[in-house]
Amino acid sequence: MVSQLKQSLDQLDRRNELIRISKAVDPRFEASALIKRIQQVSNKAILFEKIKGYDLPLVSNILGTYQRIAKILGCEVNEINPTWNKKEKELELYTPIRSQREADSYIESAIHEIPSLTYCEKDAGPYITSGMALARDPETGIYNLSFHRLQIVDDSKLRFRITPGNHLETLYQDAEKRDQPLEVAILLGGHPALMLAAASRLPIDQDELRLAGAFMGEPIRLRKCKSIDLEVPVAIDFVIEGSLLPHVREEEGPFGDFLGYYVPVLKNHVFEVRYVSRLKDSHAYGILAGSAEQDLLVGVPIAANIYSIVKGAIPSVIDVACLPHVYHSVVKIKQEFEGQARQAALAALSCDPSQTKICTVVDPDVDIHNPLDVNWATTTRCCPDTDVFIVPNIPSFRRDPYRTHYGKMGIDATMPLSEEAASDFQRTRIPGVENIKLEDYLP
């Protein structure tokens, strides 16, 4: 069986969207420095063919652009939100298929064989940052798939950060009340659609494996685990089987998180490793916290949720994106009357209270997937003393001891609606600029 992640890499390579690094790279800081630099320069997907101390390659940044996410969803960039919401309504069409034929494609492995990086200067050590935790509700049989950071201790133990409010936390708390461990399979690699599904915001009574199938256009095929009573998708590069121990917490961290700061040492959960398997051609995966890839993994599901809710109330909403950070949503709207942009901002700020901290509303001529274009609209079309408003004393983030994330802000960066304004605010355009190829003019 060929890794679906490897198949995705081959497709990216054919489209010239993949950077292959053949030089051996140090897993301590050097690999993460390269990820950050490549994202700044070209933002292509990255394949580290050699990580020092390991025999297997490592991949990063496949989901680092809207264009690549749209390709996985089978749509254009400006259709990501309606496509995402449409797929969420088709879950019943994609019931996972149980099969055992693929089990023979896996070989036994160990935690120390998985290429793992130390990302930031003060990180406690190597982390697995792309681990998708698969668990099952014992009462409903519904699977839950979600991302969690994992600090490597040794081959038998990982320290496991469960994000507060995550559905896995609910499953774990129910098991802990029964004094039982929660069986979990940690998935690494596989089809990028699984990563999108793991980042989704489905209700607890809906199955992320079905959503991954909807994204792929075919049901997920499953195989049985060897040491726990779970089934996992086939063609996953690494599967770490084990359980979250009840009533056990250990110090985890520090770790450089998505806000660009270090999470301090915290008492977090402990994962007991029972069995590790991998494909023969497996690739590890690393997500740089706070990078373009993580921002999109978190931000695209948030934007799809905002789009669905706001468009239901304000049909003239065209599109939504979250950038340059997940706490900032940008709403594109064709205003029908003065003040409608403010209505859209208020709706966006209220429909995703746990994440959206700032909302900027722009006109149809603004590229909301380009932070420079959004900033241009804000600086040329927003009157700060009348077009910016604050909603005080509303929290946006659970771990916020300094109340840094209290309050929300709306920014109306749309132009006035009068006919005179439509002429005065018309953007300049240079015909043919999009067709210029610099190589035709340079020696």
Give tens-digit pLDDT for 278-317. Answer: 999 899 999 999 999 999 999 999 999 999 999 999 999 9
Confidence of residue 98 (pLDDT cuts 50, 70, 90): confident
Neighbouring C-alpha atoms within 13 Å toward the C-beta of 98: 4
Structure tokens at 363: 């006109």
Q: Are 63 and 297 in contact (CB under 8 A)?
A: yes
Rounded Cα–Cα distance for residues 251 and 247 (Å): 14
Q: Kindly state the DSSP code that residue 200 receives in the 8-state scheme.
A: -
Q: pLDDT tier at 128 (50, 70, 90 boundaries)?
A: very high
Domain ranges of the chain: 94-282, 293-424
Name the DSSP class of 131.
-
Residues with a catalytic annotation lie at 257
Q: Does pLDDT of 353 surpass 80?
A: no
Cross-strand partners of 21: 48
Report the 10 Å Cβ neighbour count for 350: 16
pLDDT by residue (tens digit) across 406-441?
Answer: 899 999 999 998 878 888 898 998 999 889 988 889
> What is the predicted pLDDT for the residue at 252?
97
Which CATH number describes the domain made up of 94-282?
A: 2.30.110.10
Instruction: Return the closest-CA partner of residue 194 out of 102, 120, 113, 130.
Output: 130
Pick the closest to residue 329 from 308, 352, 312, 309 (CA basis).
352
The token pair that represents 443 in the structure block: 């020696």
Mean per-residue pLDDT over the chain, rounded: 94
User: What three-state secondary structure class fits 97?
Assistant: strand
For 16-64, the pLDDT digits (tens) are 999 999 999 999 999 999 999 999 999 999 999 999 999 999 999 999 9
Q: Cis link prior to 138 (omega < 30° from 0)?
A: no
Quickly name the fold that domain 293-424 has: UbiD C-terminal domain-like (3.40.1670)
Q: Is 16 left (phi over 0), alpha (psi -120 to 50) or beta?
A: left
- Its pTM stands at 0.93
Q: How far apart are the first and last CA of the chain?
A: 47
Cα–Cα distance for residue pair 114/328, rounded to 1 Å: 35
Are 387 and 335 in contact by the 8 Å Cβ rule? The answer is no
Give per-residue pLDDT as tens, 368-406.
999 999 999 999 999 999 999 999 988 877 777 888 888
Q: Which residue type, as a one-letter code, is found at position 383?
A: C
Give the 3-state secondary structure of residue 311. helix
Tokens matching residue 187: 């998935």
Residue 394: what pLDDT?
Answer: 84
